[in-house]
């Protein structure tokens, strides 16, 4: 097998595309031949030793992928060689094969393309858990999505629209704003050129958004939270800008608003049945055409460093996928 190996977590430059021995599935594991993997922001952090999870060295990065089961370990039930699956394993995906604990493998319905499957689990699960479960978003409410053209952002646009909400998508360039409107956003704000607060006031007739979805953090957070509607819910999803904001708590009091933490990975571990039910719902929505991963570019697995540089350069709309040919 071949894999991008991280022996020294100092960034993309230290990754090496290496020949390694074939993986042998242990009890309860599947060996999956990887056809496609996608990049998620934590992939960028983990190879720089900046993520909360620090795998023992050396490790193969790659949170999420899809492929074909090649071999199954002792005790595995419900999977056989030839089955197609997607998996979110946290590491191992930037390779030609990976070991997957059977409970983490999601069987793919016939005809589900590997590229879509590899770009599905993390972004849609995070955004559904955030908007529907944590914020209890209602039809007719207004949602502000920051970093709306990113991976979780584009999923959030589609999920909020599927739930009947009005979507204000905010992003850093006019081109990203245009793509967000094409994806269904009702209105957009370019937060590089405009004032987030003034534009939100104008777009909501002074009320403010009911729900704010924030995967960016940094200095956008306080301006957004100051604009939230009465009884608003502010979803703390991530800090792609790199800075964890500190918010004055009097703002929560003044608006009767809630600050709501979102940690999909922990939710999936602590509440596996609710997570499985949610994944089933998302599978139905995909089959009905309500949601579809926005894939910016598909690159060969060997071009992973290029994919990482596009992601860190904020040059991506939706998801980057790398494939084994």
Ligand X SMILES: NC(=O)c1ccc[n+]([C@@H]2O[C@H](COP(=O)([O-])OP(=O)(O)OC[C@H]3O[C@@H](n4cnc5c(N)ncnc54)[C@H](OP(=O)(O)O)[C@@H]3O)[C@@H](O)[C@H]2O)c1
Q: Which residues bind ligand X (CB under 6 A)?
A: 40-42, 122, 126, 147, 149-153, 171-172, 176, 215-216, 237-242, 262-265, 311, 314, 316
- 313 phi and psi, to 5 degrees? -85, 10
Find out whether 109 and 287 touch, Cβ atoms under 8 Å. Answer: yes
Query: What is the closest distance, in whole angstroms, from the C-beta atom of residue 201 to ligand X in the complex?
Result: 21
Query: What is the closest distance, in whole angstroms, from the C-beta atom of residue 185 to ligand X in the complex?
Result: 13
3-state secondary structure 242-311: CCCCCCCCHHHHHHCCEEEECCHHHHHHHCHHHHHHHHHHHHHHHHCCCCCCCEEEEEEHHHHHHHHHHH
Residues 6+ apart with CB under 8 A from 99: 23, 25, 26, 29, 30, 31, 32, 92
Q: Name the residue nearer to ligand X (CB basis): 278 or 311.
A: 311
CA distance 257 to 222: 13
Q: Which of 291, 146, 132 is nearest to 213 (CA)?
A: 146
Query: What is the closest distance, in whole angstroms, from the C-beta atom of residue 270 to ligand X in the complex?
Result: 13
Q: Name the residue nearer to ligand X (CB basis): 25 or 215.
A: 215
Query: What is the closest distance, in whole angstroms, from the C-beta atom of residue 173 to ligand X in the complex?
Result: 7
Q: Name the residue nearer to ligand X (CB basis): 32 or 240.
A: 240
Query: What is the closest distance, in whole angstroms, from the C-beta atom of residue 92 to ligand X in the complex?
Result: 17
Q: Name the residue nearer to ligand X (CB basis): 92 or 217.
A: 217
Q: Name the residue nearer to ligand X (CB basis): 157 or 237.
A: 237
Q: Which of 83, 86, 31, 79 is nearest to 63 (CA)?
A: 86
Residue nearest to ligand X (CB): 150
Query: What is the closest distance, in whole angstroms, from the C-beta atom of residue 54 to ligand X in the complex?
Result: 15
In a 3-state reduction of DSSP, which class is residue 196? helix
Q: Name the residue nearer to ligand X (CB basis): 9 or 151.
A: 151
């Amino acid at each position: 097998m071949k894999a991008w190996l991280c022996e020294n977590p100092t960034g993309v430059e230290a990754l090496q595309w290496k020949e390694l021995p074939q993986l042998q599935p242990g009890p309860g594991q599947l060996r999956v031949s990887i056809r496609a993997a996608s990049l998620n922001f934590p992939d960028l952090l983990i190879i720089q030793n900046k993520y909360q999870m620090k795998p023992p060295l050396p490790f193969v990065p790659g949170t999420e992928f899809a492929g074909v089961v090649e071999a199954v370990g002792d005790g595995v039930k419900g999977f056989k060689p030839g089955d197609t699956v997607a998996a979110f394993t946290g590491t191992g995906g930037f390779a030609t094969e990976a070991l997957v604990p059977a409970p983490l493998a999601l069987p793919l319905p016939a005809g589900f393309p590997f590229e879509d499957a590899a770009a599905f689990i993390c972004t849609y699960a995070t955004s559904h858990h955030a908007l529907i479960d944590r914020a209890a978003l209602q039809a007719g409410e207004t949602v502000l999505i920051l970093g709306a053209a990113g991976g979780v952002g584009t999923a959030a646009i589609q999920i909020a629209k599927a739930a009947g909400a009005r979507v204000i998508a905010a992003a850093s360039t006019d081109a990203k704003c245009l793509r967000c409107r094409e994806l269904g956003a009702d209105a957009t704000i370019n937060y590089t050129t405009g004032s987030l607060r003034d534009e939100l006031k104008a777009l909501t007739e002074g009320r403010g958004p009911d729900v704010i979805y924030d995967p960016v953090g940094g200095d956008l957070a306080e301006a957004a939270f100051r604009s939230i509607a009465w009884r608003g819910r502010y979803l703390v999803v991530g800090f792609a800008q790199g800075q964890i904001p500190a918010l004055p708590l009097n703002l929560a009091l003044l608006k009767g608003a809630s600050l709501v933490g979102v940690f999909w990975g922990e939710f999936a571990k602590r509440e596996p049945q609710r997570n499985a039910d949610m994944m089933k719902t998302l599978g139905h929505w995909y089959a009905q055409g309500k949601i579809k991963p926005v894939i910016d570019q598909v690159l060969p697995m060997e071009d992973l460093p290029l994919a990482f540089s596009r992601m860190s350069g904020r040059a991506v709309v939706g998801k980057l996928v790398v494939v084994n040919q």
